[in-house]
Amino acid sequence: MSDESREFHKPVRRPAELFDRRFAAEDPAEVSRVAHSTAHALLARVREDRDGTVVDRLVAFTDEHGIDDIAELWSRSPAKSLPGALWRLYLLQLMIHDDARTAALLYERGRAQLTSADEVVAGAPTPAGPDELVALIDTILRGLFEGDFAVALDRAAAFCRVQAAGAVGLADDYEATEPDRASTFTTRALRLSDYAADLSACAALWRRDALS
């Protein structure tokens, strides 16, 4: 698993039928091909779904199965690609579901510090508690499959920027008294900032019909 998945990883059940294990082998070109083809096929399949049951299953996927099965393919994809974007959204969702209380703390702290429109773009209610943050990230993920894909990516990027600002603030708070904890929040802030940049770039590529 890639380094960027370690912070938000948890033990999971791994349904063998989800992905063909032949492609978990070590041919990078084949892994890349399958990652891109499955991401595009998944998006096309869901957008053809009329009753929403497929979307419901996809939004609930990480709660049931964690992230390992997706990681086998998508975590190795370039950041500015369709599987790379989907991977980051699922990883972000897993982070929020795993520790919604901390996510809410970061969000409220970041909201107080930022002067940008990111909190408006992200769309969380005021105040945003743990339940509201879980609902928000699920709504954003649902928007990838049901609504405007680029808008959903922009919302996710804004969400990451608010969270990153909150993590920086908490890191500053703990720097003098708990440096290890400050370092953890600094690492999270950097990762969230990277995700925000990647997702914004993917949104721009999608609008140009260039997200492969």
- Quote the pTM value: 0.82
**Tell me: the pLDDT tens digits for 98-155?**
999 999 999 999 999 999 999 999 999 988 999 999 999 999 999 988 889 999 999 9
Asked if residue 167 is part of any domain, the answer here is: yes
Asked if residue 25 is part of any domain, the answer here is: yes
19 has pLDDT over 60? no
Q: Please check whether residue 149 is in contact with residue 210, taking contact to mean a CB–CB distance below 8 angstroms.
A: no
Asked if residue 212 is part of any domain, the answer here is: no
No. of helices (H) and no. of strands (E), the chain? 11, 0
- In whole angstroms, what is the distance from residue 58 CA to residue 138 CA? 10
**Tell me: the pLDDT tens digits for 9-18?**
443 433 333 3
Asked if residue 141 is part of any domain, the answer here is: yes
Asked if residue 27 is part of any domain, the answer here is: yes
Residue span of the structural domain in which 194 resides: 3-207
Amino acid 49: pLDDT: 72
Number of domains comprising the chain: 1
Asked if residue 79 is part of any domain, the answer here is: yes
